[in-house]
Structure formats: structure tokens, C-alpha cells
Structure 1
Amino acid sequence: MSTATAQEQLFRLPDLGEGLTEAEIIDWKVAVGDTVSIDQIVVEVETAKAAVEVPVPYAGTVLRLHAEAGGALAVGEPLITVGERASGGGEDTGSRAGELAAERYREEEQAGSGNVLIGYGTGHEPVPRRRRRRTARTSAGGAAGAPAEHAPRAISPLVRRMARDHGIDLTALQPSGPAGVVLRRDVEQALAQGGGSPEEAAPRAEPVSSGPVRIPLRGVRRAVADKLSRSRTEIPDATTWVDLDATGLLQAKKALEAAEPGRRIGLLALLARICVAGLRRYPELNSSVDTERREILRHDEVHLGFAAQTDRGLVVPVVRDAHRLTTVQLAAELARLTELAREGNLPPDRLTGGTFTLNNYGVFGVDGSTPIINHPEAALLGVGRIADKPWVVDGALAVRRVTQLSLSFDHRVCDGGSAGGFLRFVADCVERPATLLADV
């Protein structure tokens, strides 16, 4: 008769960044019975800021996973239990691990997305680490580099229930997950196409529900929803706008790119440079409000946020100390952060701490908007599309490149005079970029 002893070590969900209180389990990288080493990635989670790969600070055998894929955990709650097993007899530990692994299921809804890697110091505190290349592991043994197709995988109960509730035949779907796993997005796509796979010919025994598709708010989308709701609730905002001739700014862009061969300087970088100069003249807009202490906090540094659309939703990366950067440096940093955002690799500290936000919604082909302030900031500048329009130049009608700027501002930090002054300064710089030379 075999005996076994285990010294259990419980690892709790660590603090993953500023202001983050919980995370959603996206994908377990190990199963019960797997052998893990110190600092091995065991789970991928999604916070309100980014996707994060979490390593375990212990070595041993996985005894328990405390949450299922799709579930949420608060910081400090049990995540995984690891133990040191000592076999005393004839039990085939490899077979046992395989049996335990066969009971595993996980939802692969975010497979292939970019993520952030963290590590742990000697006290198990989170510290930044370099990203590692993912390697497949067998569910039975956890060995890196093993063929992924040998790992027992199953469709998660969440996906099965969603398909069952809407009358979707899982066997008729084209799976998009690794090793042919049907993911939640596959079911959602089938619903969007009319409720089932085109190849499904046989009629269903039960009628398909005609009710709405319920998509839970979580991860980045939930964080955005919470922040926008809070902004609308707490901030008495007002919006002012102006139409202007952007022909001069486009000419300046071409001149700068000609002077800097091989370097692309986009319009967003030029607008960012102008905004920084405007905030130096009108510092009221580079503020936030402490509602509990009833104080206005006027910031010395300009940490410029900019809206970036990604597959995971709208995110606002932050350019730290934008006032210290040249136009060329701003262009490079904007491009770098945009790429990280689209890959899902933005670290949490690059998604917080902004003092002013720039939103170029003109890339979506719209002329104007009344943008919502990015709480807890005090103002946001929106930029519409640049289009050919008739414009009066020196008393004569001409075709010019025209755009619209919209400024939403917190009426608690300034009045219409300061907001209008800032917007007019920005507009003048767009129309006559040489105006910026006065601040150099």
C-alpha cells in the first residue's frame, strides 16, 4: 500500500499594479498533478489594465487550482497550492498525474494575445521581468517543449453552457483555439452569423432563443466602463470646440519628415507637442480634483495620455514627462506605446497617472464629438478628421484642410475663459505652427 506526504505551500494572487484589486483567470498553464519549478509561469490573468502572466515562487507538485478559467479572484485570495510529494511505494505517480490532468478543463478565449510578465524577489514581491517565449507543456508532466497536441484539452463549461443556451452545435463550429479547442469567441461568432454554423444542415430539436446575447463586462472593457461612469457622475464637465484650417500643420509635418530622413513624425506627435505647450500656458487644465479634501491638485509634470483602439478595447497609454521630450522623441514614444498596446504588452504603470488626454477620433472618419474626460484628469482634447472644405483665406474662397477640435474640461478647475484660451492657443498653433517658436 502506497503512502504519500505533502508539505503544502499556498500562493495567493499578488498585487499586480497600482489600483488593481482583482483579476480574471484567462488560462491555466499547469494542471493538478503537474510538476512546477520556481518562477515558472502557471497562469495568465487579465486585470483592468493588461494581460499578465503570473509565475509561482515555489517548486513542487500542483495540488490544487483555486479558480477556474473565466472566474475572478481578488488580490490576496488563494490562487494555487503547491506541495512536495514523497512516494512511499508502488503508486505510479506519472499515471496519477495523467489521471488528474485528464480532469482539467480551461477556457482558451485569449489564446495568442500579448501579455506582461512579472517575477518575484526573495520576499515574493512582484518585480518586472523580461518576457519569455511560450513553450508547450504536457498536462501530465508539465515538461517544457512537449507537443501541445498530447495535452488533454476540453471545452470549458462556460462555452458549453453558452452554446447549449443558444442552441449552437459545438461539433459544427470551426475552432480557433490551440489544438482544435472551441473558444467562446467561436460561439459568439456563430451567434452573430445567425445562430449556427453554415455547415449545420439538420434542424434543431429545440428552438433557438431569440433573446439578446449577453456579453459580460470584464477586463479592460469593465475598467473603461467604470472610469467613464465615474467621470460622468463626479465631474461637472463642459465642452467647447472650434473649426480650423490644418493646412499649415500638414505642411509642417512634411517639412519635419524631410529634415529627419527615416523618421516618421505623425500628426498625433505634433498635436501632443502643441498640447504640452498649451498646458504650460494654461496649467489649470493640467489638474485633478481631490473630492474628499475639496482641493485642486495642479500638476507640475505633464503625463500625456492618448486614446488607442486595440482588439481588447480602448486603452489610454501614458507618455511620462511629455514636457521633457522633443517632437521627434514624442513621435517615437507614441509609436512605441501604441505597438505595446496593440500587442497587449503595456505594463500597468503605463496605463495610469495621466494628467491630460489627447483623443484623435478623426481616424474613425468622424468630424466632431463631445469627449468624456478621463477621470481623474480635468480635461481632454478631441481631434476630428481632416478633410477638404471651402475656407476663406485672405478674403478669397479656397479649398483647405479643415478639422475640428473639441475640449471637454472640468468646470471646477477653471472657467470658460481659461478653457477657451487653451483651445484658441492650440488652434492657432495648428493653423500657424511657427507660433510654437515663441515657447522654444
Structure 2
Amino acid sequence: MLEGSNRVGGRMKAFELSGYTLEVGAQWIYGLGLNPIVTIANEYGLDFVEEEDTWTFRDKNGNDLTDDGDAEYELYEEVIEKLDNATRRLRCENTGDFTSQAGLRIYGWDAINNIAETVEFFENDFENGIESAAVSGKFLYPFEVFREHQNDEWHLVNDPRGYSYIVEKLKDSFITDSDNILMLNKIVTEIENWNGDNSEVLVHTEDGSIYEADFVILTFSLGVLQSEKVLFNPPLPKWKTNAIHKFGFAQYIILYLEFGTTFWDDTQAILYVQDRRGFFTAWLNMNTLFPDSNILQVSMVGSEAKAANRMSDDELVSEAVKVLRNMYPNETVPEPRNFTTFRWLSDPLTMGSFSYWTPAFTLEDMDDLMLQTGNLYYAGEHLNKTNHGYVHSAYTSGINTALDLITCIEDASKCNGLHNRKYAADHSKDCE
């Protein structure tokens, strides 16, 4: 097992800030019911708390617009349910796709004012990691994760050991330090002979090492695959690279600010209503996870995340504080005592955050994205027809891909990605 970083966990990553463990990557558990991550989290005693589902809307003059935000959300909720019901039918038909923004308009929603646009941002952009105009409407799946898990509760991880603790424990359940199976700091640069029937696959790493294998499971992020920083020799077939580039990979930046006191609203979410969509819009009150921590989290996605990625840390913090002073003009908003952030777009091992379904991407493309090429098999959060972009989708993809490979090793006539395809086929019931 070759791991490019100095740790396991991938995009489950946390930093410590003044004694609090803050997640800069994955931090949510979606749907308790049948979510396998819940079973693992409970087995290893991971701490998590239910989302409070409270918010405050404030504009650039500090006005509390929460009542207006609630009214807009009620309309949005009606429309998204109509869109969800419609798209479940449309996915069964051979019809063209459309953006989620267009789908919302079709069923009665139009973000014609800043408050409505803030609601759309929080419910769409914030969830998908990209503006709603870039996301498929036909394959939006706003509620599928909860239907499949038979539970609609959201939870936030607040464990001092970090979300990735469960990955460490899973690793320890079958690997010991003396096994020499897991090798850290091994950045893959080239993969050779992946299509050969009678030759070993050769995996080259940045430190000059070469590893031989009969089969290889690739868990590169979609961003790394899209960047083409790993050389495949021979090149991957066009049907595979087309599928890789047609799927979407979100940009997401989380910034934490610690202050000496709490001057903000006591709701869990605080939304900034202003003219520039997504500009320091979504704030999370970390006092709801860590009482009296005096920490705020702000997230930016899509084009604003790209813009933030070009800022220095000092510039990023300065802009955040300016926004807070606009939102709370009657409060004394000091400079933060401390901060932490992480830039997934700049991380060469991720090149972004998580996947989303683009309007150009089809079910056939997902089959191609899932399917092995020669002796290369693929796993990751992006390989799921209804639950892409989640921790549990990465976990189930790894299991399905391992089962596919085992099946292939046992019977060469069955080397066709059966388990991943079976998982996808289970959702055809909507078309019956």
C-alpha cells in the first residue's frame, strides 16, 4: 500500500487550534440509519453531535434578515422537493440534462434578490462545492443519501482525535507496524505496463522506487486524475480519460478564526447577505460543537474558493474580519487571536475537495469512470451513482472495488466490475 502523504485519512484531516481539533476536510456524517460510517464511528467511539439546524441571516449593514431568509427557504424547500420528484422520473427517460439552477427555475424558484440567492448558495453551492449553474439538475440527488440510509439526521464530528481516527483504527485492525505493508510518503509519478496480460504492472514513485504488482487499485482523487500529473504508460484509453474529465471536482476552502470573546449570534449557521454570491457567506459557529471556544468557521466554494486560494493567509484573514465587522457594526470585532486553514486546491495529493455531477456527465460515463482498465482498478468517493462526494461513498467504493478484484483473480471471465455495477443497478427501482 503506497500512501503519498505522511498519514492515512486523505481528505479527512484536522488541525489543532488552542486545544480544539478542527476538521479542515470531511466533517459531516449524513444519515445515521444504514450509513456504514456510523457503525464504524460507534465501534471506535468517535464523538459527533447532531446538527442544530439553526441560522441567522445578516446583511452588510448588520441587519437581521432571518425572517426573510426563513420565508425564502420555505419556498425553496417546496421547489427542491418538486425537482427531486421530477428528476427521479427523468433519470429513467432518455432526456437531456440541465443545470440544477435551471431545474430550480423550472419548478418555481428564482433567486431574484440577495436573500434568496444566499439561501440557494447555502443549500446548493455550499453542499456541492460549486455554483448551482455548474451542477447537474437531472442527477442532483438532494435527498438520496438520506433515503438510502433511511435516516435524515446530519451530524458533525467533534472528536479531539479527529475524524480520521476511524481510518487509523481500521488500518490497525489488519496492519501492524512490523508488516511493512503500508508505506508513507510515496508519491506515485508513473504507472507502466498496466495493460499487459503477461507482465507486471510497474509503479514508479517520486523517490525513485519501483514497485511491481499483478494488479493495482488506484485511489487517486479525481482532481489528481484530472491534473494528469501521474503518467500512464501506455496512456489510458480515451473512454476512460473522457469520463475522468467530464465529472466535476469541487473547490472548497475552510478558514477557522479564534477570538478572545464571542460577539456573534448563537445559532449554528450565520449567513452573510450581500451582492457578491459566496463571498464569505457561510459561517459556522463552533461554539455549538465546542462550547466557549470562541471560534468561527467560514467556508468558500467554487470560484470564490479559487479566488481565496490566490490570497495570502494574512489577506484571507483580513477579508474575513472586514466581513464580520460589516455583519456586526454595533459590536467590537477584534483581530483574531489565532487562525488555521487548508488549501485543498494547492495540495498536489488532492487538487480539490470532492466530486459533483456535471450536466455533461451521463450514467454511461459513470460506468466508464468505475470500470477497470487492464490491470488497474479504481476506488474513491467519486465512484458512486447517487452518493458521490461523501466519506461513506469512499468507503463503499473501496469495498466494492476490492470485491471486483477478488472476483477477477478467482475467475478471469468475471473481470467486469460486477460489484460496482451491481451497486449502481440497485437504484433502477425508480424506473420500474
- TM-score, length-scaled by structure 1: 0.21
Q: Which has the higher strand share?
A: 1
Q: Which has the higher helix share?
A: 2
Task: Choose between structure 1 and 2 for higher RCO, CA contacts under 8 A separated by at least 6 residues.
Answer: 2
Rg: which structure is higher?
1
